[in-house]
Amino acid sequence: MFDREYFNLGYLDILSYRDTVIHRLDPRTKLVAVLAFIVTVVSFPKYEITGLLPFSIFPVMLSSLGDIPVRFIAKKVLLVSAFAFFVGIFNPLLDHRPLHVIGGLTISGGWVSFFSIMLKFVLTATSALLLIATTSFPGICHALQKLGMPQIFVSQLIFLYRYIFVLAEEAMKIVRARDMRSFGNRGHGMKVFISLLGTLFLRTVERAERIYQAMLSRGFTGRLRTIRPYGFTSMDLVFLSATITLLYLFRTHDVVGALGRISLRGLG
């Protein structure tokens, strides 16, 4: 179950071929914006919660403008939350200093920093997934190359991505064959696993040889080319400058505190 969800690459790939305002942006724009977003979010100190909340506007805008289903992204984020949760959950156990008093309830620093970690985790993970869901992986590779990543590494990424789907199918075939021949827990040990891996490896190498021959016969010279044209348009400029401005504003101004105070005064 976990595996099927974790490896559900195909759907992300399908999402990335939609045609929305966000999808039409240059991959470089989105990559830079998301990186800036992540660095800004992570730069908040340990005991920060309120400052992080306004940043949720970015994933919300990306997913709603890009028409990405929220539940799908949320499920994926939940699947990989284990490590951050595991490390973060020790904060409430180890840090008991009182930090906030709300309605007579004292909240310790540990809980605050734990929620801060989880909040940062959700923000950074969703934005990374949304980047892929609105850009497509080849688009990202293209952006990486334009931004100066070594050619060999970029073509490695493109190849890897292309054959994940093929080999995933092959692996599923092997798993299915094993499951059909095994009763109870038999055949799930390391011995069988090793020979399965060995077989899969040999098939993979043979496939690589066939691919290389096919590439040669189609005139491969060591370079990978792309047909899809990308360009930096005025829309990119608007998106990028809006993002940077908002990031700066949210990082330097206590939006939540100011709003809370104003509304409290208004009420009282």
Partner 1 sequence: MHMADALLSPAVGATFWAGSLGAVTCGTRKLKESMDERMIPLMGVLGAFIFAVQMINFTIPGTGSSGHLSGGMILAIILGPYAAFIVMASVLTVQAFFFADGGLLALGCNIWNLGIYPCFLAYSLIYRPIVRGGNSPMRIAAAAIISAVIGLQLGAFSVVVQTLLSGRSELPFGAFLLMMQPVHLVIGLVEGFVTAGVINFIKTARPEILDSVLSAQPLSSGISTRKVATGLLVVAAITGGALSWFASANPDGLEWSIEKVFGRPELPAREHGITPALKSIQEKTAFLPGYKFRGHDGADKNTVGSSWPELDPEASVSGVFGSALVLAAVLLIGLVIRRLRRKSS
**Residue with structure tokens 């990335």?**
16
Name which of 205 and 242 has its Cβ closer to partner 1. 205
By CB under 8 A, the residues from 140 to 169 that bind partner 1 are: 140, 149-153, 155-164, 166-168
Are the CB atoms for 7 and 168 separated by under 8 Å?
A: yes
248 CA to centre of own chain: 22
By CB under 8 A, residue 251 contacts partner 1: yes
Pick the binder of partner 1 from 72, 146, 204, 246 (CB under 8 A): 204
Pick the binder of partner 1 from 103, 219, 229, 231 (CB under 8 A): 103
Quick one: CA dihedral 22, 27, 29, 30, positive or negative? positive
By CB under 8 A, residue 115 contacts partner 1: no
Cα Rg, the chain, nearest whole Å = 24
Characterize 113-144 residue by residue with b for buried, 16 or more Cβ atoms within 10 angstroms of its Cβ, and e for exposed.
bbbbbbbbbbbbbbbbbbbbbbbbbbbbbbbb
Pick the binder of partner 1 from 24, 146, 170, 230 (CB under 8 A): 170
By CB under 8 A, residue 11 contacts partner 1: no
Binding mask 68-97 toward partner 1 (x if CB under 8 A, else -) reads: --------xx-xx--xx--xx-xx-xxx-x
CA pair distance 213, 215, nearest whole angstrom: 5
Binding mask 209-238 toward partner 1 (x if CB under 8 A, else -) reads: x-xx--x----x-x----------------
Pick the binder of partner 1 from 147, 226, 233, 253 (CB under 8 A): 253
